[in-house]
Amino acid sequence: MNASACDSMSLGGKTALVTGGARGIGRAICLTLARAGAFVVVNSRTAGEQAEATLQMVKEQGADGMLARFDVTDPEGVNSGVGEVLAARDAIDILVNNAGIARDSLLARMKDADWNEVLGTNLTGAFHVCRTVSKTMIRKRRGRIINVASTAGEIGNAGQANYSAAKAGLIGFTRALARELAPRNILVNAVAPGIIIGGMTQQLTEKQVEAVLDHVPLGKMGRAEDVAAAVLFLSGPMADYITGQVIRVNGGLYM
């Protein structure tokens, strides 16, 4: 990669907060942003061994970072956790809302708790973090927010009414927030992964994965790094005129 290409992807001097950054797609995003030079804040609910391991991997990329322990479903915890980050850093330049869970079940069997937990984490959690972090971005008159949605939020998926609803809501939230924050030079976009190795596909049976892959023109699952590459693009200077968009990383999955 030549010098100009490297400069166009550089995040040197930027601080990136990645929710749900301890493992899977979140970890891949943390490492990709670290390689681009960002100071990476790895968020998890527990800041346990996986989060510690991700932070160590970030440092092995030659970058620096810190852990931020808070639950995105707890608004007071979000305020406190973000406050600790801002006490250590001048700003949060990039926010990646990646925290998410799945509680799959057919609708007739779905429990209220399964619905509420998925909506609370995947949609309301992003609202909590965006509300808090956007305040500092507004003061700085700059920022990037990238929400990790899902193909399920656009085409639906049987047995995932709660997950599909949450991700569809996240896409609508992204577009509304993009309009609201554009005058303050804050860009808001979403990345919608399809079938990703190590992602929410871990919740699917082998038969379910095979059924979905029949509809993927590329005929294979994607990697967490593929999603992270899209996040990197939206975080950097080459995406300066892009907001309110959904970047689909799905191998052509459009049912």
Across 72-106, b (16+ Cβ under 10 Å) vs e yields bbebeebeebbeebbeebebbbbbbbbbbbbbbee
Which of 39, 127, 163, 173 is flagged as catalytic? 163
11, 128, 174 from 66: Cα distances, Å: 16, 20, 26
Instruction: Report the C-alpha gap between 255 and 250 in whole angstroms.
Output: 11
Structural contact between residues 65 and 58, judged by C-beta atoms closer than 8 angstroms: yes
Assess whether 163 carries a catalytic annotation.
yes
Instruction: Report the C-alpha gap between 21 and 50 in whole angstroms.
Output: 9
Instruction: Report the C-alpha gap between 116 and 94 in whole angstroms.
Output: 28
| Nearest alpha carbon to residue 191 among 124, 123, 96 | 96
Q: Which residues are catalytic?
A: 163
